Every structure is written in structure tokens, then in C-alpha cells.
Homo-oligomer: A and B are copies of this chain.
Amino acid sequence: MPSPAPSPRRAGRPRSAEADVAIMDATREALVEVGWSKLTVGHVAARAGVAKTTLYRRWANKGELVVHAVAALFDELELPDCGSLQADIESVILAFAGLLQQPGTNASLMAVVAESTNDPALREHIREAIVQRQKRLVLQGRQRAQRRGELPPDAADPEEDARLVDLVFDVIAGAVVHRTLVSAEPVDTEWARRFTTLILQGLPAAASL
């Protein structure tokens, strides 16, 4: 996903692939160092060793640039089979939190989401590039749990089914993000364990832990 490719094969000088990666790297580095609000396109271009105009040929504005740079980070998430649904969930919670706790990621994600609240196109882009892609983790974990008999099989109505998956995704991702970015408290193993218990057995069980 380098940039809005002009066309598979056209005449003339092609876009520099080196410039693509240099810009992405520079964007991520700059996000870590100065954060979104103080990140300037000129600064990124200079750090990438590239003219500002080269950058604007690829992305229309600061927002687009950062979305592309951030989205790729989330594809690293994996869901190893830990043997039980409880362990699987705890593991993905910690992995996700680890990603968010990297200094640049959280700022970028929030900034991009904030930007999207008044930009429908950007919002749709986020949905495709981040949200929709990461639901694979929920589906995968659920499939395993069903094989183990920890969860009932899929409901007859596929829409009903999708609603449940969406709910679980929003609950897990939302709680981790909220704790990390809003409450600004760490996501440690104890929190993950308690949260997972809440999800699987409900509040009373989590209360008497």
C-alpha cells in the first residue's frame, strides 16, 4: 500500500519506490518524536530527503499521509493459539495494548480518528484499513473456542451473528483504547485477566476475583 498509485503501467518516469518508504518511515518517526499536532509536512519531507512537492503528489494532505503510515502498524497483530479462550483473549489484549503504548501509535490513531469525525471519506478509509481488517482476530478466536466447545456454534441468522462479532470487537478494542488513552492507566496482565473474566463470566464473577 505505497500510495494512491497513478495506474498500473503508464508512460514516463515512475514514482520512486524509495521515496515511498522514506516518506512513510519519516512520518512514523516524526509522529513518535513530536506527535500529530506538531507534525508538519515540510518537516517530514526534509527528514525523508524528499521535496515537499513529491510528498503532495502522493497524498493530498497531512491526514491522508498519517492514515497510511499508521494503518500498516495494525497488521502486525496476530492471535496465537494459547489453548483456551480466556488465554487467547488475554493475549490479544496485551498485544493490542503493547501496540498502543508505543509512543507514536496512540497519538496517530487518535488524531486520525479525530480528523475523520468531520471527513466521511477518511472515516470510510479507516473503517476499511483498520477496523474491518482487525475483526479477523475476533473471528479467529471465536472459531477456535467453538471447536473447543467454549462457545455455542454460529447463530442461524448471519446478521445476528455479525452483530455479536461487532459487539465483542467494540468492547475489547474500546476498553483497551479507553484505558490506555483516556484513563491513561497501564494495561498489565492483571487488568487483562480481570477484563477477560468480565467478558467471559460477567461482572459478578469479575467482582469476586
* Residues of A participating in the B interface, judged by any CB pair closer than 8 Å: 34-38, 106-107, 110-111, 113-115, 117-118, 123, 126-127, 130-131, 151-152, 155, 163-164, 166-171, 173-179, 181-185, 191, 194-195, 198-208
**Besides A151-B204, A152-B207, A152-B208, 11 other CB < 8 A contacts?**
A36-B114, A36-B117, A126-B182, A168-B198, A170-B175, A171-B175, A171-B178, A174-B174, A174-B182, A200-B203, A202-B202
Q: Within the complex, which residue of B118, B131, B175, B185 is in contact with A37, where a contact is CB–CB below 8 Å?
A: B118
**Can you report 13 A-B residue pairs in the complex whose CB atoms are below 8 A from each other?**
A37-B115, A111-B114, A126-B182, A151-B203, A151-B204, A152-B204, A164-B207, A171-B171, A173-B178, A174-B179, A174-B182, A199-B202, A199-B203
Report A161 CB to chain B, min CB distance, Å: 9
